[in-house]
Amino acid sequence: MKKVRLIMLLALVGLFVAAQQANAVDVPVSATISSASPEITVVVKELTTAGQDPNTGTTVTSMSFGTLRHILDDGTDAGIWFSSKYYCALIYTGSFGKKYEIKSTCSGLSNGANTLPAGSFGLTPDYQALDRWVGTDPSTAQGARPTGSVLGTAGPAIATNKLIYRSETAASNRILRGFYSLPSYKVDGTDPFTGFDPITLTQPAGAYTGTVTITIAPY
């Protein structure tokens, strides 16, 4: 009888061990590596005063110029429609060591069959050495624009692949600015940029809409 009981005990122990060994859980694991092509992050700031630091502007997801005006701050009539608001696209680049170009495209601002003059919507590229990668820490300022890089010129934003910036051969990461506006004439009466074509007061009324596309690509 003692022998039989021993055999039964061993059998029970064997079942317990087998049950422990069969208790397994599979946990899926995955990871994705991007194509390592140049990329950008864009932050749009709404600005309301001339010369305003874009970093002090309100972060927005669209450029809403609102109802345009034609009376200047001094009470005189500009004779054209314009907006006192303007927008700055802060563009942060990630080059992966590849030479890159940043461009802007806008097919126009329209309301049905009516469109705003192509030269009424402006884009002014800009580069500031003191723009920072992290908060207000001066040690993270990007420094002077690299030798060999090219900054685009002010002109109509209604254009295809208008150049904002072309990197130097080393393709260093940079912070660029693109100012978009529906401006009036300058204080001295001159055009705000080459190719300016103002919105006359005879422009049909209505809400005009469009899209700006900012791209980065290797070259």
Q: What is the pLDDT of residue 138?
A: 80
Contact 162, 155 (CB under 8 A): yes
**Amino acid making up residue 14:** G
Q: Cα separation of 200 and 182, whole Å?
A: 12
Question: What pTM was computed for the model?
Answer: 0.85
Please tell me the predicted confidence (pLDDT) of residue 35.
81
**Average pLDDT, whole number, for the chain?**
91
- Span 145-173, average pLDDT: 98
> What average pLDDT score do residues 130-159 get?
93
Cα end-to-end span (Å), the chain: 88
State yes or no: pLDDT of 16 exceeds 90. Answer: no
- Structure-derived torsion over alpha carbons of residues 89, 102, 135, 123, reported in degrees to the nearest 10: -30
d(CA 96, CA 153): 26
Looking at the DSSP assignment, which residues form a beta bridge with residue 179?
88, 124
Q: For position 12, what pLDDT does the model report?
A: 44
Rounded to whole angstroms, the maximal C-alpha distance in the chain is 117
What domains can you pick out in the chain, each with its CATH number? Answer: 39-218 (2.60.120)
Which of 140-144, 147-151, 154-158 is least confident?
140-144
β-partners of residue 123 are 155, 180
User: Which pLDDT band holds residue 21 (cuts at 50, 70, 90)?
Assistant: low
* Half-sphere exposure for 192 (CA within 13 Å, toward CB): 23
The tens digit of pLDDT for each residue in 86-130 reads 999 999 999 999 999 999 999 999 999 999 999 999 999 999 999
> pLDDT (tens digit, 9 = 90+) per residue, 185-206?
998 999 999 999 999 999 999 9
Paired tokens of 2: 């003692």
Reported as type and span, the H/E element at residue 111 is strand 110-111
| pLDDT over 70 percentage in the chain | 90
Digit-coded pLDDT (tens) for 49-77: 999 999 999 999 999 999 999 999 999 99
Q: Give dist(CA 95, CA 176) in Å, integer.
A: 13
